[in-house]
Amino acid sequence: MSLKRLSVLTGHTDRVWHVSWSPCGRYLASCGGDRAIRVWGAPTLSSGPRTDQDGDKDDRNEEEAGQEEGGGTWRLLATLGDGQTRTVRCCEWSPCGNMLAAVSFDSTCVIWELQPSRAQAGREMEWELAASVEGHEHEAKCVAWNRGGTLLATCSRDKSVWIWECLQDNDFECLSVLHGHDQDVKFVRFHPREDVLFSASYDDTLKVWEEEEDDWACVSTLKGHTSTVWGLSIGSRDDGMVSCSDDGTLIVWKAAGGAGRYDKWRQLTRLEAPGKATVYSVDWSRESGAIASGGADDAIRIYVEDVEDPQGWALDTPSFVCEADVPGAHDADVNCVRWNPVRPDLLASAGDDQAVRIWSFRRRGE
């Protein structure tokens, strides 16, 4: 098996909706129906005492919350449970790694700030609630930071996308409210290199937003899915994107407007889940190029570009093969999959079974 389970992280008391790696790849945040965010510390792979960034030895006295299956012992470093009153649907680390933004079914977005005096690897973390921003009229579904940490985007069941500017002293000002989707907006994500925003919706479309004349406008609407678009991920190439849907497919897209242009897109290929099971989450590793997906059939699948067709992308005809298919990866729906930004062989997943799981991926033959 090219996808091996390393650890199971338990502690949530309701479904886990989302997981997010810190930029350094050493911490993982998870959130869910129990209204809590949990921050986990990753084990090191080397033997002997661990050290933090200041060279202090880790005394290993923290709670051992992760079941070892060859991946070391993960530790629960913090539980953030007083910020929101309903399900925490999504949480994301800021690019600097010192903040967590989280959106909830109570319609709010809260920002937690890590206190530097306790920010040591392998030790308990102390967080403070730095800000709470409100504006959505219904459940908030997703949150995303831009590459510089200066902008925050949120989306909601109220069909809108809000863009917030991050000011000094943890103050957030609404720059724009984007109306364009006809239904619930499920997902938002900024491009990893450009201030370009992507959104996915219950109206079966994706939209691309860019700043124009001191406001934000939709520059492209992507149609190809036949049901709710649950998520998207920018690929290992800046001009590539993959989306996932309730129609049981992944669609790989390519920007067709030229270098640095994101106003035109072309559908390149479609990957179909067995039985057309809903695909709730997709993540395209910018390091390895592997695409991970998870969905309603409780399975995780990994797709890689066909190495026998290396010119496919240049010719707009890339082909992908399913390198790993793990049925029963969770005991219920797989809600989120995320690649580690530093260790491209590590994958985290979250499920309706109240568990977070850590996986190791190896291509066949490696």
For residues 153 and 211, the answer to whether their CB atoms sit within 8 Å is: no
Burial bucket for residue 260 (CB in 10 Å: 0-12, 13-18, 19+): exposed
Q: What is the CATH number of the domain that holds 162?
A: 2.130.10.10
If one counts the domains in the chain, the total is: 1
Q: Which residues contact 172 (CB under 8 A, 6 or more apart)?
A: 111, 131, 133, 152, 164, 165, 166
Q: Is residue 366 part of a domain?
A: no
* Residues pairing with 208 in the sheet: 198, 220
The answer to the question of residue 126 being in a domain is: yes
- CA 29/CA 162 separation, integer angstroms: 23
Residue 116: the pLDDT is: 80
Q: Which residues pair with 206 in a beta bridge?
A: 200, 222
93 located within any domain: yes
Q: Is the Cβ–Cβ distance between 271 and 277 less than 8 Å? A: no
Q: Which helix (H) or strand (E) holds 106?
A: none
Question: What CA dihedral angle connects 148, 150, 155 and 159, to 10 degrees?
Answer: -120
pLDDT less than 50: residues of the chain: 45-64, 68, 119, 122
Q: What is the pTM of this model?
A: 0.90
CB atoms within 10 A of CB 326: 21
- Tokens 């389970």 found at: 5
**Residue 8 maps to a domain:** yes
**H or E stretch covering 342:** none
User: Is residue 51 in some structural domain?
Assistant: no
The tokens for 246 are 């309730």
Paired tokens of 214: 């001191």
Residue 196 belongs to some domain of the structure: yes
In a domain, 52, yes or no: no
What is the 8-class DSSP label of residue 183? S
pLDDT of residue 55: 33
User: How far apart (Å, rounded) are the C-alpha atoms in residues 78 and 22?
Assistant: 14
Q: Which 3-state string (H, E, C) describes 42-56?
A: CCCCCCCCCECCCCC
In a domain, residue 50? The reply is: no
Measured between its terminal Cα atoms, the distance across the chain in Å is: 12
3-state secondary structure of 62: coil
Characterize 46-59 residue by residue with b for buried, 16 or more Cβ atoms within 10 angstroms of its Cβ, and e for exposed: eeeebeeeeeeebe
Look at the block and give the residue holding tokens 């099971």: 277
131: containing domain: 3-44+57-361
